[in-house]
Amino acid sequence: MLKNTLLEAVHAAADEMRRFNDLDFKISNKEGINNLVTEVDHASEKIIIDIIKKNYPDHHILTEEAGDLVQDSQYKWIIDPIDGTVNFAHRIPLCCVSIAIEQNKEIILGAVYNPYLNELFVAEKGGGATLNDKKISVSKKENVSNACLVTGFPYTYLDEPNGPLEVFSRFIRKGVPVRRLGSAAIDLAWVAAGRFDGFYEHKLQAWDSAAGFLLVQEAGGTVTHFNGDPYSPYQHGLIASNGIIHDELMKWVNGELPKS
C-alpha cells in the first residue's frame, strides 16, 4: 500500500537523522554560499530510495541529491531527504523529511516529518490532513495586515524588482510579521496547521513544496503561483494561505496594492 510505504520511508529517514544527533558528520557546499549538503542527507535519501525500490521497483523517483531516477510509471515519488539542511547542520531542530507521491501528474499523498519536534504531517488527496493522526485545518484570519506570515530566501537569485528582499521589506515596513524558519516544507505544514496564515517564496524546487502543497490544500487552504494560476511543483514561485486572505496576499506579494 502506497501510504504504508510512504510512512515507512519517512520514519526510516528520520531515524537516520536522529542517529547523527551526537555524531560529527561531513558537510559540503553546493551552488551558492551556505547551500549545504551533509552526509546525512545522502544517507537519509538512500534509505528512502531503498524502501521505495523494495516495494515499488518500477516507480519514478525525483529526489534532491540523486536527481531524476526516471521510470515509465504513472507514479513519481518526490523526495527531500532533509529539508532545512542548514538548520540540521547547525543542530537547529527545524528540519524534516518531506516526501510526496504523484500519480498521473497529480499529488495524491504527502508526508512531512520533523523528528526533533515529533511532528508527523500527512495528507491524502480527498482525505484531509493530519498532525500526529489528528485532523488539522488552516486559520480563519481575514486580512493580511493582521496575519502572521512566513517566507524563505533562495541561496542564489538576482536582486530584481519585486524580488525577495523588496517583498519582505514591503511587509515589515507595514508592521506585518514575517518569519523565516529555513524549511519550506515546515512552512507549508504550519500553514496547514493554522500556525501561519500565509506563506510565499520566490524560488522553490518540487521536492521543497510538493508534500506541503497537498497538506495546505487538504487542510482547506489555497496554493497558487504568484499570478494566481493553479500550483505546479515544477514552477518556482508559490503562495499558500488559508484561502480567505489569498487574493489580498497575492496583491501584497506582487506589489499591486494602492500606494499609501
Q: Are residues 161 and 204 in the same domain?
A: yes
Q: Are residues 78 and 152 in the same domain?
A: no
- pLDDT, one tens digit per residue, over 140-180 is 999 999 999 999 987 666 567 788 989 999 999 999 999 99
Centre a 10 Å sphere on the Cβ of residue 173 and count the other Cβ atoms it contains.
Answer: 8
Q: Are residues 121 and 237 in the same domain?
A: no
Q: What is the pTM of this model?
A: 0.92
- Give the pLDDT score at 145: 95
**Predicted confidence band at 258 (pLDDT cuts at 50, 70, 90)?**
low
Our answer to whether residue 80 is catalytic in this structure is: yes
Q: Highest-confidence range of 32-36, 65-69, 158-162, 251-255, by mean pLDDT?
A: 251-255
Q: Are residues 29 and 101 in the same domain?
A: yes
**Residue with the larger pLDDT of the pair 123 and 258:** 123
Our answer to whether residue 63 is catalytic in this structure is: no
51, 78, 82, 239: the active-site residue: 82
Q: Are residues 166 and 206 in the same domain?
A: yes
Range of the domain at 98: 2-135
Domain count, the chain: 2
Q: Are residues 76 and 194 in the same domain?
A: no
Using DSSP, state whether 166 is helix, strand or coil.
Answer: helix
Q: 240 has which bridge partners?
A: 199, 223
65, 80, 124, 218: the active-site residue: 80
5, 38, 63, 85: the active-site residue: 85
Domain boundary among 86, 103, 135: 135
CATH number where 197 lies: 3.40.190.80
CATH number where 17 lies: 3.30.540.10
83, 124, 187, 197: the active-site residue: 83
Domain boundary among 78, 103, 135: 135
Q: Is residue 260 in a domain?
A: no
Q: Are residues 97 and 160 in the same domain?
A: no
Domain boundary among 135, 167, 183: 135
Secondary-structure percent of the chain, ordered helix, strand, coil, rounded to 5: 30, 25, 40
For residue 164, what are the contacts with CB-CB under 8 A and spacing of at least 6? Answer: 151, 153, 154, 157, 201, 202
- pLDDT, one tens digit per residue, over 136-145 is 999 999 999 9
Q: Is residue 173 in a domain?
A: yes
If you ran DSSP here, which 8-state letter would residue 258 be given? P
Q: Is residue 231 in a domain?
A: yes
pLDDT over 50 at 34, yes or no: no
Our answer to whether residue 224 is catalytic in this structure is: no
Our answer to whether residue 85 is catalytic in this structure is: yes
45, 64, 102, 124: the active-site residue: 64
pLDDT over 70 at 38, yes or no: no
Our answer to whether residue 5 is catalytic in this structure is: no
Q: Are residues 127 and 164 in the same domain?
A: no
- pLDDT, one tens digit per residue, over 175-232 is 999 999 999 999 999 999 999 999 999 989 999 999 999 999 999 999 999 999 999 9
DSSP-derived pairing of the beta strands 198-201 and 149-151: parallel
**Predicted confidence band at 28 (pLDDT cuts at 50, 70, 90)?**
low
45, 208, 218, 248: the active-site residue: 208
Residue 159 CA to its chain's centroid (Å): 23
Q: Is residue 172 in a domain?
A: yes
- Give the pLDDT score at 170: 93
Q: Is residue 259 in a domain?
A: no
